[in-house]
Amino acid sequence: MNEDLDRFAKELDLDSPANEHLRLEFGYACASRVQQFLEELPAAECLSGLGQYLDGAIDRDHFDQLVAQATRLANQHQGSKSIDGCGHAAVSATYAVASALAGKALQAADYAAYVLAYGQGGYGAVADRESFDPEFSWQTTCLTALVHRQASGRLRGPTRCSKGTPR
């Protein structure tokens, strides 16, 4: 969806095993920007667990359990029965978390962008390609910053991308 980000990710070979930590950091940054749309506490706890894993506070086995839990939560999300469709943002936010934990950073970014565009104006905003531009710009800037931090050996710790204020 974000063509600049997709191009940059290909240049980086973001999907390579060597870039797993970078993918997790970027996915975490994107999903964190939409955490306020999560309706289920367990999904928020999974996102928190990703941050803990990145900080070295939990081991891989525990993290792998969180990945499975986040996937289940996303696949079982009921959405909204309301006619205004407000649950779409919650479902996509949950999928952003699940994608981030699974190391699918670009999918997490896509879901997060959808959530933020939808949150701005519902179906009309999602249909307007320009409503995604601010988030797309932030995503590309964030990944660039993470790459520079990684190159300087400072990727771990509290110097992750600033969450900023989504639009």
Q: How sure is the predictor about 127, in pLDDT bands with cuts at 50, 70 and 90?
A: low
Q: Which residue has the higher pLDDT, 84 or 88?
A: 88
Number of domains forming the structure of the chain: 1
- Residue 157: inside a domain: no
Is 167 inside any structural domain?
Answer: no
| Within a domain: 100 | yes
| Helix, coil or strand: residue 125 | helix
Q: Which two tokens stand for residue 166?
A: 């989504």
Is residue 44 scored above 70 in pLDDT?
Answer: yes
Region of 103 (left: φ > 0; alpha: ψ -120 to 50; beta: rest) is: left
> Is residue 120 situated within a structural domain?
yes
Q: Quick check: is 164 in a domain?
A: no
pLDDT digits (tens, 9 = 90+) for 90-110: 889 999 999 999 999 999 999
Cα(59)–Cα(14) distance, rounded to whole angstroms? 23
- Per-residue model confidence as pLDDT tens digits over 47-59: 999 999 999 999 9
pLDDT for residue 132 is more than 90 = no
Nearest to 37 by CA among 103, 104, 118, 107: 118
Phi, psi of 161 (to 5 degrees): -55, 140
- 159 is a domain residue: no
Amino acid type, 158: P
Tell me which residue range forms the domain holding 29. Answer: 3-151
* Position 68 in a domain: yes
DSSP reduced 3-state for 27: helix
Q: How many residues would you count in the chain?
A: 167
pLDDT per position as a tens digit, 111-126 = 999 888 776 655 444 5
Rounded to an integer, the average pLDDT of 37-44 is 93
Above 80 in pLDDT, residue 17? yes
Say if residue 134 is exposed, middle or buried (CB neighbours under 10 Å; 0-12, 13-18, 19+): middle
Rg (CA), the chain: 15
Global pTM reads 0.87
Query: Among residues 163, 149, 152, which one has the least CA distance to residue 22?
Result: 149
* 53: in domain: yes
Is a pLDDT exceeding 60 seen at residue 73?
yes
